[in-house]
Amino acid sequence: MHQEQPSFLPLTVGVARDAASEPGPAAASACEVQRCAEAADSTAAGCWSALLGGCQSVERRDLPGRLRALAAATSGYVGPSRWEWSAHRRRVVEAQLRIDDAVREGDGAEFAEAFVGYDQAVATAVVSVNSDVETPAP
């Protein structure tokens, strides 16, 4: 019986996939966000298993780098100048710090809760790019 791996970034993977499928110059950077989100999601699932088992793993060591890569890809998609001072960036950084602390402390409940905030923050940043483009100026 095949058991499906848990998903920690369902919103981010979904909105990045949608953005990558849109025609236009931003599609390539949206593809990078999607690729990084899928890699981070897979690593998070392995990290989750290690946390539940109370053991160390490659995923526990690799997760912070995967999350930084996803944040960097998101910054590239949003636009570095817009990202630098945005509320989206602040929320992503805060959630990532919570995830890092949870991994270090081996706290599975905090890990899961922090990932909800991280997923929502990154997905909202990705969606905001399309909202800004589609919103007509007054």
The CA-to-CA distance between both ends of the chain, in Å, stands at: 56
Q: What is the pLDDT of residues 31-56, one digit of tens each?
A: 999 999 999 999 999 999 999 999 99
pLDDT score of 66 more than 70: yes
pLDDT score of 136 more than 70: no
Regarding pTM above 0.75, the answer is: yes
pLDDT bucket at 138, cuts 50 / 70 / 90: very low
Measure the CA dihedral 40/70/16/88, to 10°. 120
Over residues 76-103, mean pLDDT: 93
The per-residue pLDDT for 14 is 97
Residues with Cβ within 8 Å of 94's Cβ and at least 6 positions away in sequence, in order, are 117
